[in-house]
Amino acid sequence: MKLLVISDTHSYLENARNVMNTIGDRIDMVLHLGDHDEDAKILQEEYPDVPFHYVRGNNDYTNTPDFKMVEVNGRKLLLTHGHKNQVYWSYNNISYWAEEKGADVVFFGHTHRPANEKMDTIYIFNPGSISLPRATTYPTFGIFDISENGDMEGTIMAYIDNDNYVRVEESF
């Protein structure tokens, strides 16, 4: 299953729409990791054929949950924004929390900086921001593959323009 992972759109949906229009037919699910969760709802209405899962971020004032567990091909995915886990300073807290929740991978945003690594038994995946990047030249998003047998591969992609996306980091 191929997941499109986005975060921190902050009401700027043009890049997310361009990605969906270009590769949406090859995406099985979209994960939006907050800031702004209303953006996820708008995209879900615009692309009703693709399942969406989303959580709220520190700039969201809705009843959307702070975190969500999703199971895909036998893997447990923990979705959160990350602001409550001090992800600016370290990934230790979010990794421990994911382990306590029984997750195989934790998806988060908040920092606007991509991350794609493994800590002990937990995969850590932050797609960066598709709208307002920090510490990267281009906006970024993630593609996360989970095979039928549960193998996982995450890739951070740079959004160059409407027709060009470049892999900026190899998988784990």
Q: What is each CA distance from 3 to 62, 66, 70, 112, 152, in whole angstroms?
A: 24, 20, 12, 19, 11
Quote the pLDDT of residue 171.
40
What pTM does this model have?
Answer: 0.93
Quote the pLDDT of residue 60.
87
CB 131 within 8 A of CB 162: no
Give the structural domain span for 11: 2-169
Residue 163 predicted with pLDDT over 80: no
pLDDT in tens, 82-134: 988 888 889 999 999 999 999 999 999 999 999 999 999 999 999 999 999 99
> Residue 69 — very low, low, confident or very high, per pLDDT cuts 50/70/90?
very high
Report how many domains make up the chain. 1
Residue 172 predicted with pLDDT over 90: no
Residue 140 predicted with pLDDT over 50: yes
Q: What is the CATH number of the domain that holds 29?
A: 3.60.21.10
Q: What is the spatial order of strands in the sheet that 75-80 belongs to?
A: 67-72, 75-80, 105-107, 122-127, 114-119
Q: What is the mean pLDDT of residues 151-164?
A: 85
> Residue 152 — very low, low, confident or very high, per pLDDT cuts 50/70/90?
very high
What one-letter code names the amino acid at 21?
N
> Residue 136 — very low, low, confident or very high, per pLDDT cuts 50/70/90?
confident
Share of the chain above pLDDT 70, in %: 94
